[in-house]
Structure 1
């Protein structure tokens, strides 16, 4: 199979950005190219033409590659529902909700089969694949049953380019440390290094290039300048925080509740392009201020996040804001939080089936206060 795989020294080093760039470059060169990421973890979704869900980064990469997105480009999408469980979206459809250990033990072989199927399907349709890993490829506790980094590069038999983030510091240590933790066979698959997110004068890093090449024996393919506002999906909260940071206060101030299990925060992103609107994330009462509007976004765990709003004290800010005529908009789970009652008898949200008096919102004539965000 013809292709390359982009792996990173850590989360949020810019793998998705680099992979998107390669998709665009190969497409411009005339190749029939497709993105591929076997396993993505994100509560944001991109809906394919046949109505199935994949990670948004792979949807954008498909657009850069000049092709329609398909479930084979991101066959496993993990949607966290708590600190310990995630919903597995397999080939675009909800499959099962599992904890981390159960996922490794119960789902691993199923995942490998789906990866092999997807690679076969894509290789029949495309000349070249731009593949992307996740997080760090050398997490020792995960390497023996991982489904997204070197195991996938091995299955596809493609070379690897290692991406490192210089913006957060320690770039040389992160590169060398990652390479040292690879097995000899894994390290031999790494054919190039890219330094990403460089700020300032690129010539300042030039002495570091030959040092890295001599120390690692691997070519530094390039040093990429920091690019802000590119709007290519990241997977984790690091990306989310950066996306809405450093905005100047504008005429219209919109506060967005930063829920622990926020889902599809991309619903809010169009406001970033409005010249008279500023967006800011709030996670506690001290950050609330006096917004012109409050937006409560979607979530993968409505009950958990509602409880967190109350525990943090933010709910106690929202109630008087509502009573004095403040504008509140709820989306999906955020809208559910504005209702009078929340029930989860089947345990689809919490993972535990509640019954009778043990329900979160007990079905009694006069329910106690606290069942919605405004009570």
Structure 2
């Protein structure tokens, strides 16, 4: 197989962004290129056109490569449901929930087989495959049955580039230490090093580059800058810390409930690019403040996270916020929490059949969890009962267990996919519940909703900030920016001339 694998000295060193940039750079040169990650662990997922679920990073990377995302680009997705268990999504479909040991004991051989199948499929369809690793390739306690790093490089027979994050410190130790912990045959695959997230004067680091190359015998293929506000969706919980780390002073204060098992937090990323909006996480009542709006995002474990709100007394704060006229939006699991009751009939959310927990009681509805998950891309319009323009289109996707049933007549929010009523809309938009992920990626709707908040605070309305139109250009911008700091021709030669023998 012609390809390259990007591995890291740790999680969140920038592997996903680098793979995205490489996919766009190669696509821009006329190469038919595809991304691949054998096994992803993330609650930030992507729904393909045929309704399959893969890691969000691989969906974004496929977009950068200008190809349609498929399950072959991420055949295994693990979605954490607790500290000990994760849902296994295999070729785009949820199969079961297992402990870490249970997964390692029962899925290794099955995992190897589907990885081989996926690699063969991609090799037949594409000229080059850019493969992303996970975490570190030298997790000694996991190496005997790993499915994500050097074992995959061997199956694909591709060279490896090792990436390290200089921003977190210890870059020399992390690179040299990682290489020293590799087996000799593994280290022979490492053909280059990339240092990521560099800030400051690069001339002050030239001695460091020389030392690394002399110490390891491996070329440094680039020192990449720290890219601010790259607007490429994050992948996992560590990305939350980096992408949402800064809380700015702004006229609109939006509080986001940070569930322990938050999922698809990319729903919130467009707000980071609104000048008058401050987006901040709320974990407990001491952080509540006086928000203009509250968003309850998706969760991989609705009932566990609902109980978390109750234990931390956030449920009363949300209820009081609504009673005082504050705005609230619940998305997916957050929508389910807004109802009066959540019933785990099949045990598919908690593992305990017929487990029942009370919700926030803000929406007159109850949700029942069954076994089958709904996953689909969605195109819809606003329901006539909302008073919003019924000709205005919104797009997104659904990934959820459970069906929400209204206990009394209420106004649906949307008409989706052939006129199906979806969601809940009340008090002129003060209360909104929906299963539609990426609702706020619809630029005109985001403007309309923010203007509701602005008007309530006697602030002037603002025009739409069109982020969606520039998405493809951002792939080009990131690719161009990183290429200028890479030994690009050398990197391409390493792909084209690799011979493990």
Q: TM-score, normalised by structure 2?
A: 0.70
Aligned match of 1:6: 6
- 1-side partners of 2:267 and 2:328: how far apart? 15
- Which aligned pairs between 1:157-306 and structure 2 lie closer than 5 A? 157-306=157-306
Structure holding more strand per residue: 2
Aligned match of 2:446: none
After superposition, what is the alpha-carbon deviation per residue over 1:44-66, rounded to whole angstroms, capped at 9, x for unaligned? 11121212111111111111112
After superposition, what is the alpha-carbon deviation per residue over 1:316-339, rounded to whole angstroms, capped at 9, x for unaligned? 322322222221111111111121
Aligned match of 1:42: 42
> Does residue 373 in structure 1 map to residue 360 in structure 2?
yes
Asked if the contact 2:341–2:356 (Cα under 8 Å) also holds between the matched residues in 1, the reply is no
- Which aligned pairs between 1:64-213 and structure 2 lie closer than 5 A? 64-213=64-213
Moved more, 247-256 or 219-228: 247-256
Asked if the contact 2:255–2:282 (Cα under 8 Å) also holds between the matched residues in 1, the reply is yes
- 2-side partners of 1:231 and 1:41: how far apart? 21
Asked if the contact 1:315–1:374 (Cα under 8 Å) also holds between the matched residues in 2, the reply is no
- 2-side partners of 1:269 and 1:196: how far apart? 22
RMSD of aligned alpha carbons: 1.4
State the 1:238 CA deviation. 1.9
- 2-side partners of 1:218 and 1:63: how far apart? 32
Moved over 6 A (4+): none
Three-state SS of the structure 1 residue aligned to 2:344 is coil
Q: Unaligned regions of 5+ residues in structure 2, if any?
A: 363-501
Q: Unaligned regions of 5+ residues in structure 1, if any?
A: 362-370
Asked if the contact 1:23–1:130 (Cα under 8 Å) also holds between the matched residues in 2, the reply is yes
Asked if the contact 1:16–1:233 (Cα under 8 Å) also holds between the matched residues in 2, the reply is no
After superposition, what is the alpha-carbon deviation per residue over 1:208-255, rounded to whole angstroms, capped at 9, x for unaligned? 001111111111111000002113333332211221221422222111
Moved more, 131-140 or 229-238: 229-238
Asked if the contact 2:8–2:137 (Cα under 8 Å) also holds between the matched residues in 1, the reply is yes
State the 1:374 CA deviation. 5.6
Three-state SS of the structure 2 residue aligned to 1:167 is helix
- 1-side partners of 2:8 and 2:220: how far apart? 14
Three-state SS of the structure 2 residue aligned to 1:347 is coil
- 1-side partners of 2:36 and 2:237: how far apart? 22
Asked if the contact 1:2–1:127 (Cα under 8 Å) also holds between the matched residues in 2, the reply is yes
- Which aligned pairs between 1:18-33 and structure 2 lie closer than 5 A? 18-33=18-33
State the 1:118 CA deviation. 0.5
- 2-side partners of 1:313 and 1:179: how far apart? 48
- 1-side partners of 2:315 and 2:168: how far apart? 34
After superposition, what is the alpha-carbon deviation per residue over 1:299-348, rounded to whole angstroms, capped at 9, x for unaligned? 01011111112222323322322222221111111111121112113211
After superposition, what is the alpha-carbon deviation per residue over 1:170-214, rounded to whole angstroms, capped at 9, x for unaligned? 011111111111111111111100000001111121110011111
- 1-side partners of 2:326 and 2:64: how far apart? 41
Asked if the contact 1:16–1:232 (Cα under 8 Å) also holds between the matched residues in 2, the reply is no
Q: TM-score, normalised by structure 1?
A: 0.93
